[in-house]
Structure 1
Amino acid sequence: MINKQYDVSCGARAGAGAGAGAKAVYSFQHKTKKVVLCCDVKMGKVAVGAAVVCAAACAAAAMVVRRRTKGSGKWGRAEALVRELEEQCGTPIAKLRQVADAMEVEMHAGLASQAPTRLQMLITFVHNLPSGDEKGLYYALDLGGTNFRTLRVHLGGKEKGVVKLESEEVSIPPQLMTGSSQELFDFIAAQLAKFVSSEPEELHPPPGRQRELGFTFSFPVKQTSIASGNLIKWTKGFNIEDVVGQDVVGELTKALQRIGLDMRVAALVNDTVGTVARARFSDQDVIAGVILGTGTNAAYVESAHAIPKWQGLLPKSGEMVINMEWGNFSSSHLPLTEYDQALDADSLNPGEQIFEKIISGMYLGDIVRRVLLKMAEEADFFGDTVPPKLRIPFILRTPDMSKMHHDTTPDLKEVGKKLKDILEINNTSLKMRKIVVEVCEIVAARGARLSAAGVFGILKKIGRDKVKAGEKQKSVVALDGGLFEHYTKFRSSLESTIKVLLGDEAAETVSIEHFNDGSGIGAALLAASNSHYLGLQES
């Protein structure tokens, strides 16, 4: 345990021309709960009164001991740690504005530079977003991890919207995740063909018309067109070397050809871009999409003229969807704590994805665990010994944190149950449970308010943070992800913070709306809006 040591010095006149000083040093030992005092006397020419001086020093030291250790028992030390956390996680509006300003600066830098920047600001080649008029049958393939989904989406235009949605989920055999490119894509193509075979006869495409597919590929890709992109690296347990550097659409297309499935990949998309498309189909005022789930990211609609690094012809629409990869945002204005620094140091990517590590569902629960662990170590918060389970990284998940945070029972029964079931901490008192809830509140509020600052940064970048004279242009930000959808207090905090940042007048023009399944429905919609058969969609 950490011992705290304090010095208290005092001096006293001990006769004419004589000086004496004394220093009393005390050490408060947390483990033994004892105070150790030591008196050090320094005398001048005359030693008279040295004893009085030492006594005064010791008295002063004792007074500081009483003052500083008054609350140093379990509750006092725990409360002190919570107050310290609250101070370090502070997100006053002035700080949030600084974060938003820093976000805007990084956005400009990423749009201008071909070299890597903190915010990559990736050009997606998506400039034909859904108009709402799309009709017909389109497919989507959502490959984001150890499972993938196949979807069949029947669109009915503005009047009917999404008429019908069918989907299947398939687990990828572990050996295919580290095998060859052909083995993986042949398996995916075979499953897709099986799904297509169940297509109702009345929805079959006319002779000579290919089926079209939106391909959500949630791995780092350098996009080269709306329907092509080279894999930068695998993540999430995949390691197939012969795909790295290759066009993933090309690999899938070859596999489709090998089994005779006549299907064209019309759009290669990121799930955040898909969220923008999914929302734009329903509401033409959508200007951005944000994912707040296990991870986090944002995409938004930028003016093509405002992208200095864009080398191609300006699109007819005059706009381009930009994938920010905002999880990697970092700034000196972010309120980071020792717990965040330790989590980052222990992660697989130290120094990267800092924004993601303080606002997303992957990490919030573990930040709470780290705070509780320190309380257990320094304040014996859960008893004389530290609960062993509390030392296990990520054992406390954000959904569990949310359950505790939302507990409304008089005795905080759910908090006690979670502590018992997950951390094997029994017989917790109501006072203890209240402190745990307070820790959840502090960590969640910081994440939500910083997320709001990020959204505000996007609105500032495209000039939607203020009401223009004579007009009130509506702006809709589409939100998706389990954290936003299910963590009610997180969501409420985010929404209320954005309103404060905008001010009353501008807040009336900006709305936050939940749209789900951008990685599925959004991909199919992008296949439709980038179809070879635009204008020929069937009803």
Structure 2
Amino acid sequence: MSELTRLREFLNELIPSEDQFQRLYQNFCAQIRKGLGAKTNKDADTKCYLTYVQDFPHGNETGKYLALDLGGSRFRVLLVTLKGDRDAELVAKIYDLTEKELLGTGTQLFDYIAKCLHEFVCEQKVEGEHMALGFTFSFPCVQTGLSRATLVRWTKGFNCSDTVGEDVGVMLKSAITRRTGLKIDMVAILNDTTGTQMSCAHRNPACNIGLIVGTGCNACYTEKVENCERLDTKYKDRPKIIINVEWGAFGEKGGLDHLLTDYDKIVDKNSLNAGTQIYEKMVAGMYMGELVRLITLRAVNENLIFAQCKLRKQITDILTKKPNCIETKVLSDIANDKGDDWPMVKDVFKDIFHLHDADPDDCMKFKYICDVVAKRAGNMLGVTLGALVNKVGESFSIIGVDGTVYRCHPNFDGYMRETLDRFVEKDRKYDIMLSEDGSGRGAALVAAVVHREYIERKSLNARLHT
């Protein structure tokens, strides 16, 4: 048996069978039903949060709108000018948060953000205009309205006091009010998946699904309001609403046990949030490089790669003692290496293992390991995306996608489509669209839609009273 054949057999557990994909599909669909149910939501992995985004871009929106994108130690403020005919112009500025804002009080954080907003509108010479703002807030929240969101917990290095359990929308609005002369109305809070869907819906109204595949992974989709048992009747005057699936948590109650390998279990055990976000740890950029490290280490120990390499012990020591030494970027970088001289793989070996005379067979094997990990992730996402396409129920749906993994890996789109094609029902069609700055453009579009609806209601009320 050849070494490559042995390696393929060794990796077979990371290549799901059709039966395993079918179980993934059925388990995921069951979790969506639970998440939407009033009595079953508490037991669901996928909480299917209500976003309260119920109105969508027509494409003819015009005017200037602000967007605030907070999801890490840097945040962006954007001025988005909508020009009609599905066209938009963006001006953005990035601001850094210091330890004072990251670890201080909530009031300190939002007062600083309001200060930066004020500086930005002055720089753009729009400080005298009343402007609507969409707020992309990429932290776990429970929304109780379009501009109301209760913070569940901080992540990504934040630990602001007096904020968990509080409405971040109220906190931002209060900070804006404290800034004399600042004429900004925060009208909507959303996460980056909703922004992605709205950004793509502005270009094509058939966009019914938003997907982020980057450091983390999540999806949202358009649901019929009659299927949302937790939605208050006052919001059921519109036919649809965007649901934030929070599918990274899928698998926390065993729905992915049939697909979990020892590598997945080690990644979970060594993570900062062991026992949670199981699906995300199998498909997202934060974890794919670490999966490759663990697989490669075991393959070295079983003489399946680097068996004849003079630096074998050095490579083993690095793989053993340096968790996360292989970044997910590596998977994208070497995906285009075709085997002529393996220049990308050799560069990776030099950078990580200090190996300067790599055997071409070892290059081929390492690339194969990386491809297997990336393909499993793409295939799994294709299955769950297929479930969402079928759940939306339209004859044609566009999936809006953003995130570094999808953008940078040349084969990831194909991996997703491979299983999408198998699981999307025959009477449904789909396509995939790359988002244009969903967290910025999408947030401004939500603000524009809210403003449009306000104007339309105001006009209707005026006609009714004449």
Report the TM-score when normalising by structure 2.
0.90
Provide the residue aligned with 2:142 in structure 1.
Answer: 222
Residue 417 of structure 1, CA deviation: 1.1
Provide the residue aligned with 1:290 in structure 2.
Answer: 211
Distance between the aligned counterparts of 2:192 and 2:241, measured in 1?
16
Distance between the aligned counterparts of 1:137 and 1:448, measured in 2?
37
Provide the residue aligned with 2:15 in structure 1.
Answer: 90
Contact kept, 8 Å, 2:78 with 2:93, in 1: the verdict is: yes
Matched, 1:484 2:414: no
- Aligned-residue Cα RMSD (Å) equals 2.1
Contact kept, 8 Å, 2:331 with 2:409, in 1: the verdict is: no
Contact kept, 8 Å, 2:140 with 2:151, in 1: the verdict is: yes
Provide the residue aligned with 2:157 in structure 1.
Answer: 237
Residue 291 of structure 1, CA deviation: 0.7
1:280–1:402 distance in 2 versus 1, CA, 3 Å: same
Distance between the aligned counterparts of 2:375 and 2:339, measured in 1?
21
Provide the residue aligned with 1:390 in structure 2.
Answer: 319
1:268–1:384 distance in 2 versus 1, CA, 3 Å: closer
Q: Which protein shows a greater Rg?
A: 1
Distance between the aligned counterparts of 1:175 and 1:116, measured in 2?
38
Provide the residue aligned with 2:77 in structure 1.
Answer: 150
Deviations 1:200-253 (A, max 9, x none): 46x953xxxx31100011111111110011111111111112111111111111
Provide the residue aligned with 1:307 in structure 2.
Answer: 228
Distance between the aligned counterparts of 1:116 and 1:519, measured in 2?
30
Given residue 245 of structure 1, which amino acid in structure 2 is its aligned partner? G
Contact kept, 8 Å, 1:377 with 1:386, in 2: the verdict is: no
SS of the residue 1:253 aligns to: helix
Matched, 1:175 2:100: yes
1:359–1:191 distance in 2 versus 1, CA, 3 Å: same
Structure with the largest fraction of helix = 2
Distance between the aligned counterparts of 1:334 and 1:138, measured in 2?
47
Distance between the aligned counterparts of 1:297 and 1:221, measured in 2?
14
Residue 323 of structure 1, CA deviation: 0.3
Matched, 1:108 2:25: no
- The aligned runs of 1:130-209 (5 Å cut-off) are 130-157=57-84, 159=85, 161-162=87-88, 164-200=89-125, 205=129
- The aligned runs of 1:309-324 (5 Å cut-off) are 309-324=230-245
Contact kept, 8 Å, 2:60 with 2:86, in 1: the verdict is: no
Given residue 223 of structure 2, which amino acid in structure 1 is its aligned partner? E
Provide the residue aligned with 1:127 in structure 2.
Answer: 54
Contact kept, 8 Å, 2:220 with 2:245, in 1: the verdict is: yes
Provide the residue aligned with 1:344 in structure 2.
Answer: 268
Contact kept, 8 Å, 2:335 with 2:409, in 1: the verdict is: no
**Unaligned ranges ≥5, structure 1:** 1-70, 465-472
Identity %: 30
Provide the residue aligned with 2:463 in structure 1.
Answer: none
Aligned residues: 445
**Unaligned ranges ≥5, structure 2:** 459-466
Report the TM-score when normalising by structure 1.
0.78
Given residue 329 of structure 2, which amino acid in structure 1 is its aligned partner? P
Matched, 1:461 2:383: no
Provide the residue aligned with 1:502 in structure 2.
Answer: 424
Given residue 418 of structure 2, which amino acid in structure 1 is its aligned partner? S
Distance between the aligned counterparts of 2:336 and 2:140, measured in 1?
35
Given residue 179 of structure 1, which amino acid in structure 2 is its aligned partner? G
Q: Given the alignment, which residue of 433, 436, 442 partners 2:372?
A: 442
Deviations 1:365-387 (A, max 9, x none): 11111111112333263544142
Distance between the aligned counterparts of 1:160 and 1:498, measured in 2?
28
Residue 98 of structure 1, CA deviation: 2.4
Distance between the aligned counterparts of 2:250 and 2:272, measured in 1?
17
